[in-house]
Chains A and B, each alone.
Chain A
Amino acid sequence: MDTLLGKGREAVDLIVDPNSFAQDKVGSLAFTDATFGPGAVVGEAKLDGQLVTVIASDAEAFNEKFPVVYSGIIGMEEGYKMAQAVYASLAADAAKKPEQKRAIILVVDTPGNGPGKVEEIFGMNKATGAYQLALAEARLAGHPIVAMVVGRAISGAFLCHGLQADRILSLDAKFQTMIHVMPITSVSRIIKKDIEVLEELAKSNPVFAAGPTFFYQLGGVEELVSEIPAMREAIIKQVAEIRKAKAEGLNAVGPRGRGKLGQERGGRKVRPEVLARLNAEFAAVQARFRPQAN
């Protein structure tokens, strides 16, 4: 197998315990309408014997109600459906201790959010944002969340289906995985920079180069997976590591953890300086904003 691009469903089966994936049911929530958000595949499975929630993009699905939603694009229905799966996971494990809450596995192969007039009239930004808030809530509640990039992880869709995870893994670039905001041809046109200049810089600068290797340098990708069969073990390992890390503090993983990793790998060095300075500057003036005795 030379790529999993466009094969989100196959990726799920390669990751979870054999024959354990039960689609369209998460906790007490059943998705009974096959025409609802077909680009989002949600369900439960066993991973190394443990119950997990699975959320994947399906590039072979086409949403007949919203023509701009195909090829793994996350439309309004898909975004809200994915959010529902997360909230159902939170509800199902509400009574469990943080360290016992189920893992949520995101299988990522999506080229974007639905770009259409109806989407803007009704607010595609809400669907995208809803899924992110749900994932952030689940992550902060203790659920280990691993995003596995098997194909395209692009822009706003990757922001909602991936970037709120505790840890992000990606298949190597040799499997045609893509991680970027938009193609360098588009970037060139929009920021009015010669494409040759960008292509040259992209060979070494992780900030706007496309590809999992560069995202790794920025701290965006925790681990690159060099063989397709190795995905499963990598995810199992990450779930265990995340549980351990979260027991010590919520900033070691998730978007904040990636910030630290980005600094360590040399891809994002100014960010921590800004945060530290802001902290110091507010501390210096805090007294005037404290409550005054009445």
Chain B
Amino acid sequence: MPNWTKIQTSSFLESNARDRAIGLVDEGSFVELIGPFDRFCSPHLVTLGEAVEFDDGIVTGVGKIGQRPVFVISQEGRFIGGSVGEVGGAKMVGTIDQAIAFYDSLIAEFPELPDAQRPLVAISFETGGVRLHEANAGLLAHAEVMDAIQRARHKVPIVALIGSRIGCFGGMGFVAAATDAIIMSEFGRLGLTGPEVIEQEMGKDEFDSSNRALVYRTTGGRHKYVMGDCNFLVDDTVASFRAQLTELTLLPIAEFESLRRIGSEALVEKQLRGVALAVTIAPTDSRDVWRYAGNNDPIGLADGPIADFRKTVKRLVL
């Protein structure tokens, strides 16, 4: 068992999935479900003659923050890019389903149960989306996760934490967008089509994936914060993510609605105002949008210390 205190000061970016899962909840409270000892691995990887992992690259379990049960899903980018197939998908869906079922049974028994004692789901994303080795099964898994998220609405808040090396892309990019709240560090990245794919499909003029500054400017935490897609921009430590998550554990489910990006007709209308803006601004770079939002020095803003960024940045209002 890794030292919980040591995990707290670790870089979130550098932390593996299990350390993140353990470190996000109270010390000693994490219980892994479907861990490596259950030896569930992907039968499709075996068919392909590929190495397997007995947790299939995703840590799932439950812990506590204060008195709030926190169901944790944590993806491991070092195993096939954190991609999701049949087993990983089932672990994700199963965890969210358990949180919902637990909520239902608790409320049936304790109708007045305080918010701070109701289940919450925390998902630490590090993934490129569908595991191509399990292509079609991966697609079906993604659909099930989205279904589970909709079933959790107005019952169990789901918080996305994005600050790991691979970021959150592909099908998991819209899964994250569908959650109730998103916490990111500046090193986290969130998008749909990865920069390499855009470059491959549309050419280097559209997106130069070797330009790291451009990549981070487009899908990184700072940009997502300006856009309102990231609700909370935190420092790159496990403790910082945990602190923000802890604040969220105090909120009633109704207050999570104002943190959402999508999930209602009104939110779609709001996002469409953003799309109309995309036509008006016709940005060749996200800095064009930052400038429109009222930031006069987008270059300095992108490169300065994160604490200064949080203090001075003007976020886009739609």
Contacts and interface: CB of A to CB of B under 8 A. Distances in A.
A122 B274 contact: yes
B106 A290 contact: yes
B135 A125 contact: no
Given A123-B227, A124-B193, A289 B198 contact: no
B178 interface: yes
A212 to B, nearest CB: 11
B251 interface: no
Given A133-B146, A255-B144, A271 B151 contact: no
Nearest to B208: A117
Given A126-B174, A201-B47, A91 B90 contact: no
Nearest to B68: A289
A130 B275 contact: no
Contacts of B23: none
A208 B102 contact: no
A282 B33 contact: yes
A68 B198 CA distance: 10
A122 B47 CA distance: 39
Given A117-B206, A270-B40, A286-B102, A291 B275 contact: no
Contacts of B86: 207, 268, 270-271
Given A274-B87, A278-B98, A84 B265 contact: yes
B271 interface: yes
Of B137, B261, B271, B284, most buried by chain A (CB within 10 Å of CB) is B137
Given A119-B193, A278-B60, A289-B62, A127 B271 contact: yes
A113 B150 CA distance: 21
Interface residues of B, number: 94
B293 interface: no
Contacts of A179: 136
B150 A182 contact: no
A189 to B, nearest CB: 10
Contacts of A285: 31, 62
A53 interface: no
A101 interface: no
Contact of B150 (A66, A123, A140, A286): A140
Given A208-B135, A274-B91, A163 B262 contact: no
- Interface hub of A122, A207, A277, A285 (most chain B Cβ within 10 A): A207
A291 B98 contact: no
Interface stretch (A13-21, A42-50, A154-162, A236-244): A154-162
A292 B202 CA distance: 57
A283 to B, nearest CB: 9
B140 A259 contact: yes
Contacts of A113: 192-193
Given A68-B202, A80-B268, A219 B140 contact: yes
Contacts of B272: 77, 80
A218 interface: yes
20 contacts: A80-B271, A113-B192, A115-B201, A120-B218, A122-B274, A122-B275, A123-B191, A123-B261, A123-B271, A126-B271, A127-B271, A128-B192, A129-B262, A132-B143, A133-B149, A160-B174, A179-B136, A214-B136, A255-B146, A286-B102
Interface of B: 31, 33-34, 38, 40, 42-44, 47-48, 60, 62, 64, 67, 69, 86-87, 89-91, 93-95, 97-98, 102, 106, 110, 113, 117, 129-130, 132-140, 142-144, 146-147, 149-151, 153, 170-171, 173-178, 190-193, 195, 197-198, 201-202, 206-207, 218-219, 223, 227, 229, 261-265, 267-268, 271-272, 274-275, 277-279, 282-286, 289
